[in-house]
Structure 1
Amino acid sequence: MVLGSNMSIQKTLYEILSVGEDATHEEIRVAYKAAILNTHPDKARATVEACVPSNEPQEFLSVQKAWEILSHPESRADYNKQLLSSRQNIEIIASEIEVGDMIIESTADTVELLYPCRCGDYFSITSCELGDMGILISKDGEVEPQAADSVSASVVLGCGSCSLKIRLVIDRT
């Protein structure tokens, strides 16, 4: 299951077509043809409850959407990335920056690194926070070299006002 934009639990496109995520194009095509016949509004059987509204048209549209996305390799790859991301609860990162891209503000005992956000606020991190992660920053904002086994690191920073996030990539060589 994957969380949808309206935060309700929805079936994945693979579940809609009743195929595995490793299904071939041919398996997806066969499953689509079967699902479209089973959900097509014109093929629905008349029942005693004909006046009761059904969600068959919605199911039909879901099958159509699943086919549109999964039948094309590029859109299927994009969908698989989104699916994996939602399962791993990975945060969507707006961009990657380096320490050199940030504004340095030094006080007597700490250095604050700032990067402007589109909303007008800033992404920020202090030398104390970086120090807790084993990353040392000098007063002029330079990363101090560490042991040879620790080459680089990254930290996800959230904006102070909006929901955007960036990844600060730190080269410790």
Structure 2
Amino acid sequence: MVLGSNICIQKTLYEVLSVSEDATYDEVRAAYKSAALNTHPDKAQTTGEASVSSDEEQEFLSVQKAWEILRHPNSRAEYDKQLQSSRQNIEIIASEIEVGDMMVENTDDTVDLLHPCRCGDYFSITSCELGEMGILITADGEVELQTSDSVSASIVLGCGSCSLKVRLVINKTS
């Protein structure tokens, strides 16, 4: 099973079965049986509905898929490993800022752009780092040139002290 980058949007297999991630085999099995009975397409027909909707069918298939993976120790261990890995790769962005929101400090041959973090430290990037990306910054902190054809670009900046991140949105001015 391969987890997509949309793990934030989709339910985990544990959430599909309404069990905790540390649930025992017996707890997973009991949750599967209950979910399978509640989402089975034949249940809709016994309640007098004419046909099963695709959402109901998809829900039942999700329950089946969760059971197929979580019932086997090896596939469950692999799923858990992928789930943990995907959670570590998710970047949580505190906010978006623009170049104009940043403080400008001129040092020797570089321009430092700084934005205060709520922890008291700063998000920062230098004109040299931006230059490597094809973005030139003037001494007063204005975007002078962007070599790409795109109208805007964005860069994720991490705080120097804490784990917060912001997205620096750079708009082309010329």
Contact 2:96 2:169 in 1 (8 A): yes
Q: Corresponding residue for 2:140?
A: 140
Among 56, 71, 96, which residue is 1:26 paired with?
56
- TM-score in terms of structure 1 length: 0.53
1:5-44 residue pairs with structure 2 within 5 A? Answer: 11-14=13-16, 24-27=54-57
How far apart are the structure 2 equivalents of 1:33 and 1:104?
A: 54
Q: Corresponding residue for 1:168?
A: 168
> 1:152 deviation in Å?
1.2
SS of match in other structure, 2:105: strand
Q: Which deviations, in whole Å up to 9, do the C-alpha atoms of 1:141-172 show, x marking residues without a partner?
A: 00003458232111100000000000000012
Q: Corresponding residue for 1:157?
A: 157
- TM-score in terms of structure 2 length: 0.53
CA RMSD in angstroms, aligned pairs only = 3.7
Q: Corresponding residue for 1:118?
A: 118
Seq. identity, %? 67
SS of match in other structure, 1:119: coil
The yes-or-no answer on 1:107 pairing with 2:110 is no
Q: 1:33 to 1:123 in 2, by over 3 A?
A: closer
1:49-128 residue pairs with structure 2 within 5 A? Answer: 86=86, 89-128=89-128
Q: Which deviations, in whole Å up to 9, do the C-alpha atoms of 1:42-87 show, x marking residues without a partner?
A: xxxxxxxxxxxxxxxxxxxxxxxxxxxxxxxxxxxxxxxxx8xx37
How far apart are the structure 2 equivalents of 1:88 and 1:122?
A: 23
> 1:90 deviation in Å?
3.1
Structure 1 gaps, min length 5: 3-9, 35-82
